[in-house]
Amino acid sequence: MEGLVLLYRVQEAVTNLALINSIVRWLGGALAYAALGIVLYGVWRGTKQQAGRTVGLSGGWLRSWWFYLACTVAYFGLAWLGWKPLPLAFSPPMRVVALVMGSLLYFPGLLFLLWARLTLGRYYFVSTGFGAQLFKDHQLITSGPYAIVRHPMYAGLILAALGSLLIYFTWATVFFACFAPLMIVRASREEAVLSEEFGEQWADYCKRTPAFFPRLGK
């Protein structure tokens, strides 16, 4: 009798874990699509503004519809092709640990990214590893998440990419997690154009604000 009760409790725990896992995945997907929509709207609005200082080779690309079409097709194509589970098996306790750790990285990371995107407002625009572009009347934003780190969108994206791997365990999330650190290259392009545009103001901002990781002390 005790064996049957124990078996029932194990089955109930596995069922509850599967339900929680499904809810977390659904919420993660909904937040990701919301973030993507907000970012793409910012990009679209940015293409309507007058271009300012540019560094690198991507000034024309950033305002070409075919560039965004190619990126969208490549992104969703890789996600679709790679959305296959990894050949890994975890015990229920390990799955709980992975789900908790993934959620603590993924959701705060995406929310930090969204906070940064909304803080930038009309001054948000996309960049690439080949170059970056400002607007004609660009202003340096140093408030909100930009008072914590200089690149909060990229910091949030890196956290979310690592968290997504622990939540979804697919080949696509492996690719995104490996690709995320390359945001540092894009950040260097943005820093170059911001340094040219804002000079001493940018230098002072860099002295008091770290690039990706907040300072824990003075």
The per-residue pLDDT for range 163-197, each reduced to its tens digit, is 999 999 999 999 888 887 788 888 888 898 899 99
pLDDT at residue 151 greater than cutoff 50: yes
Q: What is the pLDDT of residue 211?
A: 87
The single-letter code of the amino acid at 114 is L
Report the first-to-last Cα separation within the chain, whole angstroms: 61
The per-residue pLDDT for range 46-100, each reduced to its tens digit, is 888 888 888 876 667 777 778 888 888 888 888 888 889 988 887 778 888 899 9
Q: What is the pLDDT of residue 202?
A: 94
User: Which has the minimum average pLDDT: 25-34, 61-70, 106-115, 154-163?
Assistant: 61-70
Torsion (CA) 143, 55, 57, 37 in degrees, nearest 10 = 10
pLDDT at residue 25 greater than cutoff 80: yes
Contacts of residue 111, defined as CB under 8 A and 6 or more positions apart, other chains included, come to 31, 156
Is residue 199 left, alpha or beta, with left meaning phi > 0 and alpha meaning psi from -120 to 50?
Answer: left
pLDDT at residue 135 greater than cutoff 80: yes
Q: What is the pLDDT of residue 205?
A: 95
Q: Which CATH architecture has domain 2-208?
A: Up-down Bundle (1.20)
- Type and span of the H or E element at 53: strand 51-56
Q: What is the pLDDT of residue 154?
A: 93
- Type and span of the H or E element at 178: helix 171-179
Sign of CA dihedral 189, 194, 200, 206: negative
Mean predicted lDDT score pLDDT of the chain: 85
Phi, psi of 98 (to 5 degrees): -65, -40
Q: Cα(124)–Cα(129) distance, rounded to whole angstroms?
A: 16
What percent of the chain has pLDDT above 70?
A: 89
CA atoms within 13 A on the CB side of 130: 6
The single-letter code of the amino acid at 92 is P
